[in-house]
Structure 1
Amino acid sequence: MAVIAPAANPGIAASGPRDTTFYGWVVFALSFGLLISDYMARQVLNAVFPLLKAEWALSDAELGLLSGVVALMVGLLTFPLSLAADRWGRVRSLALMAALWSFATLFCAIATSYSQMLVGRVMVGVGEAAYGSVGIAVVISVFPQRLRATLSAAFMAGGLFGQVLGVAIGGEIAASHGWRAAFAVIGVGGLALAILYPLVVREKRIAEIAGSAASKTHGPGAAPRTSLRALFANRSVRLAYCASGVQLFAAGALPAWLPSYFNRYYAMPVDAAGRMAALFLLVCGCGMIFCGMVSDRAAQRRPDRKILLASGYGFGSAIALCLALMLPPGLPQLILLGIAMFLVAGTTGPAGAMVANLTPAALHGSAFATLTLAHNLLGLAPGPIATGRIADAIGLLDALRFLPIAAVIAALLFLAARRSYLADLQALASQP
């Protein structure tokens, strides 16, 4: 018997309110703030790698596991926790998630051993697992349909800001007050938002703003059901999942290890290394947005052009990173690293468009959850962990030199998807 799934995420109105409301913007602001807290809690660790390594005599493999285990838990738990939030109530679930990752971050601040820190990082991942999918569902439900694409992009940009702030602020606090203070400050900030969120954001008020269309999506038989097999029904979408995930192997490893790279090879103190890494994260975010805009414009008449561009982003990031790591530390290397960071996550936009185009509209929520799963299990989790293990054997610089291989593999997978993309689009369009 085929596994079935609801046609759309419960609670997202079919039409939504007619106009924006002040309360809707309050919901967006608080949800956006929690998303920033989410990524700050995830990324603060990378800023204090050098201090942890020195204090506890850790290997790079152990450091990489501390970073990658969060993405691993997100990948494993996104689906079940999202479904649980739909049943238990999204607002309560979001507040509980935020409280969990905040308490886990505070636990990291008082950890006295590597094993305790690892437990804390696992719990950070558990708390963050479903926030992205559940948070955007809450935000979208209180705004008119015409603003959903803009709000989705703006909301997800909070992840970028959180990474930048987590590395930059974490590095600054750690340099002046120690690494424990960095975890403590970010944990307390997240906990304050977790307490405030359910006091202001109410399920009943959201339902009133969303209108009757929201209520019609709840309950048995409220929406048509579609086989989850459609998530993997064609060759192109399977390759899109894999290609996007593999590309993020490099995109996940670089943010985790750049602060340590600048500390070791540029002799930068922890705070300066954090600021430099934060600057490169901003470059990465700008590249993600720009590459997505270019792909949308280029594919208006030729849908397969977005795949060629995605492949080009993969090859371009591989070439720039390879050349950068062949040079000695200095301005030319930094410029090439900047180009690599600009392109390395540029595939996320085209890949997302491919997945949306190649799966039934009724399953888009599940399709993007599947893409998130691929991102975490193929890229964001193994990237930092594997790089750390290789760094223990041959050094961090040589370990980073393996990252272009993942980008080349991803580029080739995108090219393979292009061969069947138009035919798969036509086959999907012909289905009733």
Structure 2
Amino acid sequence: MLMQHAEPTTGDTSVAQSDVRPYAWVVFALTVGLLLSDYMSRQVLNAVFPYIKATWELSDTRLGSLSSVVALMVGVLTFPLSVLADRWGRVKSITLMAAMWSIATLGCAISTNYGEMLLARAFVGIGEAAYGSVGIAVVLSIFPARLRSTLTGAFMAGGAFGSVLGMALGGAVATSLGWRWSFAAMAGLGFVLVIVYRFVVTEERLAPLQPAGVGRANNLGVRMSFRALMKGLFSTKSVVCAYVGSGIHLLVPAAVWAWMPSFLNRYYGMAPGKAAMSAALFVLLTGVGMVVCGNLADRLNRTVPQRKWLTAIAFCLACFVLLGLAFQLPAGPLQLALIGAGMFFSAGATGPSGAMVANLTPPSIHASAFATLTLANNLLGLAPAAILTGIIADRIGLLGALQVVPLAPLVAAIAFFIGWRNYTRDLERVNALREQAAP
């Protein structure tokens, strides 16, 4: 279905469909499974916002901080922890991280006040900090380069699907058993997946699936100086634009995911449990959009690599127009339909962004490169989204705050446009330097 293209890659020699072995898909499934747990633990909070607001009489700003603190910890710690994972071992690091966020989620269930909950949520973020970058690095190391946009989009969509499950199941459990059991259920699932991953995935079993030379490249990455690492991560204007555009465009899904249950509760009169389950449908649309948009970017990239940038721009502009119009309309079916359409495209640039970062950085630092991408995603989009929306909502109302949010993908489109203008020249420069450095 996907054809090999002429775009230069970063040393990946796997191009044939037969090179994708069954165990690679097992690893992919388990890695995505842990990502589901990651986002279920993160987003279950949004499902119980109305309950926590009533229990502790919190402002929207404080509610938003409980969501944003996770992304803040991820943003601050993703890079150093990912670098450590490259050195200590990616599989061992993944197991440790998943265990930590599961324990912290259990801590949320027994919190007795806002301060305790904020601390527990911070540890959820510490546990999740490097998972996205290390997990995708493991996946991309055992699959051919021609599938990069598809795999990146599908992997990142696991976050959306995890958010769907976290919000829907969290809302259902909270309605039946209380909001504390929502966190306990997410923690229990995390513990089960940690045990399965620990026994099924090992560095020794991954090694035969990696292209020739990757193991050597990773050893070089371990010995790489900090200066050389920084040079590799920020070597071109286009890779910087990929980081920035990806981060800013994710402000929309983060804000809408966090506040949609509250929006439906306040403006549509839905009970908290029903609002959470209804909001999960919009998160599901985001996840479907990430997979479809990532696959579309690969298809359009068969002969013209630059089209990945143009598709990213198109996705951002579609989101800007659809959501911008939706939140100007009165409550009703048309508004909800346009919000759904906008959310389909809201994270569509994730796949192309990840593919560009992979293409413009060497395999030896891919975990660190995706850590940098994760850093940008969190500090520019995911971390500020919920709390900024809450701050604005405390002043002009939640609807007014959501009317401002769609400006983010417009800014992201500008960053992607600059990257597109420089991509061909930058890619030629990166590959020329790589050839000069080759023994």
What TM-score, normalized by structure 1, do the two folds share? Answer: 0.86
The answer for the alignment partner of 1:331 in structure 2 is 333
Give 1:138 deviation, angstroms: 4.4
Give 1:117 deviation, angstroms: 0.3
Verify: 1:119 aligned to 2:119, yes or no: yes
The answer for the alignment partner of 2:184 in structure 1 is 184
The AA in structure 2 aligned to 1:197 is Y
Give 1:218 deviation, angstroms: 6.1
The AA in structure 2 aligned to 1:56 is W
Q: 156-165 vs 292-301, which deviates more? A: 292-301
- Residue 140 and residue 340 in structure 1: after superposition, are their counterparts in 2 closer, same or farther (change >3 A)? closer
Give 1:289 deviation, angstroms: 2.3
After superposition, what is the alpha-carbon deviation per residue over 1:172-203, rounded to whole angstroms, capped at 9, x for unaligned?
A: 11111110010011112212332343244444
Aligned to 2:290, which of 282, 288, 291? 288
Q: How does 1:42-61 map to 2 (within 5 A)?
A: 42-61=42-61
Question: Counterparts of 1:211 and 1:235 in 2: how far apart (Å)?
Answer: 28
Question: Counterparts of 2:299 and 2:151 in 1: how far apart (Å)?
Answer: 20
Question: Counterparts of 1:23 and 1:235 in 2: how far apart (Å)?
Answer: 37
The answer for the alignment partner of 2:309 in structure 1 is 307
Give 1:258 deviation, angstroms: 0.8
Give 1:67 deviation, angstroms: 0.7
Question: Counterparts of 1:153 and 1:405 in 2: how far apart (Å)?
Answer: 23
Q: How does 1:220-235 map to 2 (within 5 A)?
A: 226-235=228-237
The AA in structure 2 aligned to 1:124 is V
Question: Counterparts of 2:89 and 2:327 in 1: how far apart (Å)?
Answer: 48
Question: Counterparts of 2:360 and 2:20 in 1: how far apart (Å)?
Answer: 31
Q: Tell whether the 8 Å contact from 2:315 to 2:348 is kept in structure 1 after alignment.
A: yes
The AA in structure 2 aligned to 1:159 is G
The AA in structure 1 aligned to 2:171 is G
The alignment of Structure 1 onto Structure 2 pairs a total of residues equal to: 422
Question: Counterparts of 1:39 and 1:366 in 2: how far apart (Å)?
Answer: 21
The answer for the alignment partner of 1:3 in structure 2 is none
The answer for the alignment partner of 1:5 in structure 2 is none
Q: Tell whether the 8 Å contact from 1:284 to 1:345 is kept in structure 2 after alignment.
A: yes
Q: How does 1:162-181 map to 2 (within 5 A)?
A: 162-181=162-181
Verify: 1:322 aligned to 2:335, yes or no: no
The answer for the alignment partner of 2:197 in structure 1 is 197
Q: Aligned to 1:268, what secondary structure does the other structure show?
A: coil
Verify: 1:93 aligned to 2:76, yes or no: no
- Residue 306 and residue 83 in structure 1: after superposition, are their counterparts in 2 closer, same or farther (change >3 A)? closer
Give 1:425 deviation, angstroms: 3.3
The answer for the alignment partner of 1:265 in structure 2 is 267
Q: Aligned to 2:58, what secondary structure does the other structure show?
A: coil
Question: Counterparts of 1:291 and 1:24 in 2: how far apart (Å)?
Answer: 23
The answer for the alignment partner of 1:355 in structure 2 is 357
The answer for the alignment partner of 2:299 in structure 1 is 297
The answer for the alignment partner of 1:160 in structure 2 is 160
Q: Tell whether the 8 Å contact from 1:263 to 1:270 is kept in structure 2 after alignment.
A: yes
Q: 157-166 vs 174-183, which deviates more? A: 157-166
Give 1:162 deviation, angstroms: 1.0
Q: Tell whether the 8 Å contact from 2:249 to 2:408 is kept in structure 1 after alignment.
A: yes
Q: Aligned to 1:343, what secondary structure does the other structure show?
A: helix
Question: Counterparts of 2:373 and 2:251 in 1: how far apart (Å)?
Answer: 14
The AA in structure 2 aligned to 1:293 is N
Give 1:294 deviation, angstroms: 3.0
The AA in structure 1 aligned to 2:177 is H
The AA in structure 1 aligned to 2:118 is L
Question: Counterparts of 2:200 and 2:262 in 1: how far apart (Å)?
Answer: 40
After superposition, what is the alpha-carbon deviation per residue over 1:274-321, rounded to whole angstroms, capped at 9, x for unaligned?
A: 221111111112222222333333344444333333223222211211
Question: Counterparts of 1:169 and 1:383 in 2: how far apart (Å)?
Answer: 23
- Structure 2: segments with no counterpart, 5+ residues: 1-8
Give 1:238 deviation, angstroms: 2.1
After superposition, what is the alpha-carbon deviation per residue over 1:61-112, rounded to whole angstroms, capped at 9, x for unaligned?
A: 1111111111111111112222323333333322221221111111100101
Q: Aligned to 1:401, what secondary structure does the other structure show?
A: helix
Aligned to 1:379, which of 357, 381, 385? 381
The answer for the alignment partner of 2:405 in structure 1 is 403
Q: Tell whether the 8 Å contact from 2:214 to 2:363 is kept in structure 1 after alignment.
A: no
Aligned to 1:390, which of 389, 392, 402? 392
Verify: 1:417 aligned to 2:389, yes or no: no
The answer for the alignment partner of 2:3 in structure 1 is none
After superposition, what is the alpha-carbon deviation per residue over 1:4-45, rounded to whole angstroms, capped at 9, x for unaligned?
A: xxxx99xx99879x8777765554444332221111001100
After superposition, what is the alpha-carbon deviation per residue over 1:344-393, rounded to whole angstroms, capped at 9, x for unaligned?
A: 11122232333344445554443332222111110011111100111111
- Residue 26 and residue 426 in structure 1: after superposition, are their counterparts in 2 closer, same or farther (change >3 A)? closer
The answer for the alignment partner of 1:4 in structure 2 is none
The answer for the alignment partner of 2:68 in structure 1 is 68
Give 1:252 deviation, angstroms: 1.4
Q: Tell whether the 8 Å contact from 2:153 to 2:290 is kept in structure 1 after alignment.
A: no
Give 1:245 deviation, angstroms: 1.2
Q: 208-217 vs 332-341, which deviates more? A: 208-217
Question: Counterparts of 1:25 and 1:237 in 2: how far apart (Å)?
Answer: 28
The answer for the alignment partner of 1:81 in structure 2 is 81
> How large is the RMSD of aligned CA atoms in angstroms?
3.2
Q: Aligned to 1:381, what secondary structure does the other structure show?
A: helix
The AA in structure 1 aligned to 2:324 is C
The answer for the alignment partner of 2:346 in structure 1 is 344
Question: Counterparts of 1:211 and 1:311 in 2: how far apart (Å)?
Answer: 32
Question: Counterparts of 1:422 and 1:216 in 2: how far apart (Å)?
Answer: 28
Q: 220-229 vs 375-384, which deviates more? A: 220-229
Q: Aligned to 1:233, what secondary structure does the other structure show?
A: coil
The AA in structure 1 aligned to 2:316 is G
The AA in structure 2 aligned to 1:281 is V
- Structure 1: segments with no counterpart, 5+ residues: 1-7
